[in-house]
Amino acid sequence: MKYISTLLTVVFLMLVTGSGNVQARSTFITIGTGGITGVYYPTGGAISKMVNRKKKEYGIRATVESTGGSVFNINALMAGDLEFGVVQSDRQYQAKEGIADWQDRGPQKDLRSVFSLYLEPVTLVAASDAGIKSIADLKGKRVNIGNPGSGHRQNAIDALEAAGINYEKDLTALSFKASEAAGLLQDRRIDAFFYTVGHPSSSIKEATSGARKVVFADITGIDALLADHPYYMKATVPIKLYPGVLNKKDAQTFGVKATFVTSAKVPDDVVYAITKEVFDNFEDFKTLHPAFTSLSKEGMLKGLSAPIHPGAMKYFKEAGLL
């Protein structure tokens, strides 16, 4: 008798809460992003918000994880530890080709692109009292180039090399996470830092609103770099978003695009649902972060080098975008 009443209670609770149903249909996905003061983290939040609104329809529950950045995200995605990631377009290209950080591991054949997002200028933030106006002034300085899992570390190395500066010999290169860089600059523990990031970002706001005055230094002498690397493009760092910065003009630099990627192992219906929610509710999506203001649907299909995931492709064809 006791057994039967327990059983009835369980069945009753499952009916009331619908838990039996939801359990069977829920797909949990995690989006790898970057430091919480970057733009990847709120971007992951915005994308998950779009799809979580339709939890009942799709059975997808998306969560966001703060990570070390692009390189970490691609590796975690390929290892099956993440289902999606925000990564720099140059890193997407390198992983697909099996070059740079993927030289030893070879081409990452399961990497798939979903869409691209906003431009990320390689931003060089420098203390004005350190006398740094352009990248050439970094010789002998303490410069944060980024943690090894970040996308920007290689951009910093490429920019320094283009300026004839050996990052191992000509300056003190540090490997802190971008989320720590603004604090270190304000504490006078570093003179400058590189961060490839969309604007505005909380990290750059923090760096430009402290007692120590800062400038965005120009990254010049990059014509050959741009000619040799198809994924790099000219860019500027906008000063209007950061009232505390000392520059009178936007800084000259180069940049990449932030892109949204996944693995061939992630089911088509999951990738389709996310793509559809972002694109069908595009005006809503654009309000979720100021870095999204100038996004266009057509632009979001550019800058992708890994094959487009079939789930995303299905949506793009239906919507007449491809």
The residue (of 86 and 308) whose beta carbon lies closer to ligand GLU is 86
**Would you call 85 helix, strand, or coil by DSSP?**
strand
Long-range contacts of 94-101 (CB under 8 A, 24+ apart): 95/306, 96/305, 96/306, 97/305, 100/154, 101/71, 101/154
The reply to whether 303 sits near ligand GLU by the rule CB under 6 A is no
The reply to whether 94 sits near ligand GLU by the rule CB under 6 A is no
When binding is defined by CB under 6 A, the residue of 46, 197, 219, 273 that contacts ligand GLU is 197
The reply to whether 48 sits near ligand GLU by the rule CB under 6 A is no
When binding is defined by CB under 6 A, the residue of 32, 35, 121, 255 that contacts ligand GLU is 35
The reply to whether 312 sits near ligand GLU by the rule CB under 6 A is no
Buried b (16+ CB within 10 A) or exposed e, 230-241: ebbeebbbebee
Q: How far is CA 177 from CA 67, 148, 195, 237, in A?
A: 10, 9, 10, 20
The reply to whether 270 sits near ligand GLU by the rule CB under 6 A is no
| Single-letter residue type at 269 | D
The reply to whether 277 sits near ligand GLU by the rule CB under 6 A is no
The residue (of 196 and 253) whose beta carbon lies closer to ligand GLU is 196
* Alpha-carbon gap, residue 222 to 200, rounded angstroms: 24
The reply to whether 82 sits near ligand GLU by the rule CB under 6 A is no
Size of the site for ligand GLU (CB under 6 A): 15
Token pair in block for residue 312: 């995303």
Q: Binding string, 138-167, against ligand GLU, x = CB under 6 A?
A: ------------xxx---------------
Token pair in block for residue 157: 């190395």
The reply to whether 121 sits near ligand GLU by the rule CB under 6 A is no
Compute the residue count for the chain: 322
Half-sphere exposure of 128 (CA within 13 A, CB side): 13
The reply to whether 34 sits near ligand GLU by the rule CB under 6 A is yes
Tally Cβ neighbours within 10 Å of residue 210: 15
When binding is defined by CB under 6 A, the residue of 69, 121, 255, 303 that contacts ligand GLU is 69
The reply to whether 208 sits near ligand GLU by the rule CB under 6 A is no
The residue (of 72 and 272) whose beta carbon lies closer to ligand GLU is 72
> Which parts of this chain interact with ligand GLU (CB under 6 A)?
34-35, 38-40, 69-70, 88, 120, 150-152, 196-198
